[in-house]
């Protein structure tokens, strides 16, 4: 899940209108507070300028955007610029339960909604969002983040923030990015197995380094995901787990791992940005680094990616104006920088990520997520986690032959998903 930084008290469902009498000083103070809580120190907010032709006019007099409080703070100056260029006002309406309210909005739906990419499953099934073109701007973003909003060859959202796990090491144990997985083994690798219940999410970067993924895209229909766990690559990962039982503490948990890191028993931990503040408190801001997980199986390690972005409502009054605001204003480099400064969330936009280089948590986790893949939004994924975790733990306990255990797990999941 994406990090949620500080909140400013704003009445639920009340539009924060983009007017030039807005409390910009108050917004600046909030940006500083949000970045401080995210483990950052703030620069001045970015000036937002339109990258598009400001002569183009729009038909709608008002665009309505549903979003959270920190996003509203980041987009106020962006909305002001849009109004100045086009004459269309943008109402930023803060919602605390966007998913359910949007599903039940009917004719009161907004023109644009911001949220995590996982919401698309429900939105698409109900016909609530429409595809739109990024107009060549894809190259300015992390490719995995763009992919998170792509379905059936069409784009249903523009990303702005992302979250993925990484290999986080103490400076003393691993002062530079490891080139091999053996280097990680040598200093001690920690992965929480949740008191023996397993954790396929945090093992996924290692699994994918063997070429094993949860799903493959169907060759005849890009909207169909086929279960891919039972192939040779999956079996190779299963056998690696069986041969490397000594690497894992089967009863490990977060509290134990933190103590092991402090005591020097472990040097690295596969974890997410939510652990960044703890590392800074325990080792000092310069006492740790986040790296990409090196390959254990010979292929690129690819953790799952969680993404937030802007989606176009199927009930948008003026889809052209709404798309223009998303792609050319919210999606501009300055717009993306403004969103980062207000939210503290790791940017998906490459220029915004570069602007965060003085802010360790979002910057290093952003870099380490360059090869991450979006977590599938298919309902099939819900049937995967528990059997996959059980099978991994059974292999680590040596309950049976790893090939047999892995095949049984794959067949169990396939019986539920219909693969």
C-alpha triplet 262, 168, 349: angle, nearest 5° = 145
d(C-alpha 50, C-alpha 282), whole Å: 43
| Domain at 15-163+306-373, CATH class | alpha beta
Is residue 74 predicted with pLDDT exceeding 60?
yes
Is residue 122 predicted with pLDDT exceeding 80?
yes
d(C-alpha 306, C-alpha 163), whole Å: 5
Q: Please report which confidence band the pLDDT of residue 419 belongs to, taking 50, 70 and 90 as the band edges.
A: confident
Is residue 167 predicted with pLDDT exceeding 90?
yes
Backbone angles phi, psi at 151, to 5 degrees: -140, 130
Residues 203-215, mean pLDDT to the nearest whole number: 97
Look at residue 4 in the predicted model and tell me its pLDDT: 28
Residues 181-203, mean pLDDT to the nearest whole number: 96
Is residue 109 predicted with pLDDT exceeding 90?
yes
Query: What residues does each domain of the chain span?
Result: 15-163+306-373, 166-302+378-417
15-163+306-373 and 166-302+378-417 have identical folds:
yes
For tokens 């969002």, name the residue.
Answer: 129
* Average confidence score pLDDT of the chain: 87
Which region among 84-98, 127-141, 215-229, 278-292 has the lowest average model confidence (pLDDT)? 215-229
Could you give the maximum distance between any two Cα atoms of the chain, in Å? 69
Residues 113-123, mean pLDDT to the nearest whole number: 95
What's the fold here for domain 166-302+378-417? D-Maltodextrin-Binding Protein; domain 2 (3.40.190)
The Cβ of residue 32 has, within 10 Å, a number of other Cβ atoms equal to: 17
Is residue 31 predicted with pLDDT exceeding 90?
no
Residues 331-353, mean pLDDT to the nearest whole number: 98
Buried b or exposed e, range 269-284, using 16+ CB within 10 angstroms: bbbbbebbeebbeeee
Look at residue 217 in the predicted model and tell me its pLDDT: 72
Look at residue 34 in the predicted model and tell me its pLDDT: 41
Is residue 23 predicted with pLDDT exceeding 90?
no
357-375 pLDDT, tens digit per residue, is: 999 999 999 999 999 999 9
Backbone angles phi, psi at 264, to 5 degrees: 80, 10
Look at residue 226 in the predicted model and tell me its pLDDT: 86
Higher-confidence position of 13 and 269: 269
């Amino acid at each position: 899940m994406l990090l949620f930084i500080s909140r400013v008290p704003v009445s639920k469902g009340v539009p924060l209108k983009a007017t030039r009498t807005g409390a910009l000083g108050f917004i600046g103070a909030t940006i500083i507070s949000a970045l401080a809580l995210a483990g950052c120190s703030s620069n001045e907010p970015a000036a937002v300028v339109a990258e598009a032709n400001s002569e183009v006019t729009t038909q709608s007099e008002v665009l309505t955007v549903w979003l959270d409080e920190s996003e509203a703070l980041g987009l106020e100056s962006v909305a002001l610029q849009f109004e100045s260029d086009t004459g269309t006002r943008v109402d930023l309406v803060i919602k605390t339960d966007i998913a359910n309210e949007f599903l039940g909005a009917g004719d009161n739906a907004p023109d644009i909604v911001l949220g995590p990419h996982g919401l698309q499953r429900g939105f698409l099934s109900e016909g609530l969002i429409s595809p739109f073109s990024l107009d060549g701007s894809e190259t300015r973003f992390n490719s995995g983040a763009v992919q998170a909003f792509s379905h059936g060859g069409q784009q249903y959202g523009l990303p702005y923030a992302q979250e993925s796990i990484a290999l986080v090491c103490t400076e003393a144990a691993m002062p530079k990015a490891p080139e091999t997985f053996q280097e990680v083994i040598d200093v001690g690798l920690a992965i929480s197995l949740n008191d023996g219940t397993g954790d396929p999410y945090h093992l996924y970067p290692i699994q994918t380094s063997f070429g094993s993924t949860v799903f493959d895209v169907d060759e005849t229909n890009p909207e169909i995901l086929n279960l891919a766990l039972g192939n040779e690559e999956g079996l190779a990962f299963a056998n690696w787990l069986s041969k490397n039982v000594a690497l894992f503490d089967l009863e490990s948990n977060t509290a134990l791992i933190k103590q092991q890191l402090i005591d020097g028993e472990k040097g690295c931990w596969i974890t997410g940005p939510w652990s960044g503040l703890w590392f800074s408190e325990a080792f000092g801001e310069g006492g740790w680094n986040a790296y990409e997980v090196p390959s254990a199986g010979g292929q690129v390690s690819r953790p799952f990616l969680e993404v937030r972005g802007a989606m176009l409502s199927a009930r948008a009054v003026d889809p052209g104006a709404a798309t223009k605001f998303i792609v050319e204003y919210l999606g501009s480099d300055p717009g993306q920088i403004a969103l980062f400064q207000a939210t503290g969330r790791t940017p998906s936009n490459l220029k915004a990520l570069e602007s965060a280089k003085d802010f360790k948590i979002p910057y290093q986790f952003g870099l380490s997520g360059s090869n991450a893949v979006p977590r599938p939004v298919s309902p099939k994924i819900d049937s995967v986690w528990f059997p996959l975790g059980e099978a991994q733990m059974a292999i680590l306990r040596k309950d049976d032959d790893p090939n047999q255990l892995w095949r049984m797990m794959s067949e169990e999941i396939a019986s539920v998903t219909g693969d």
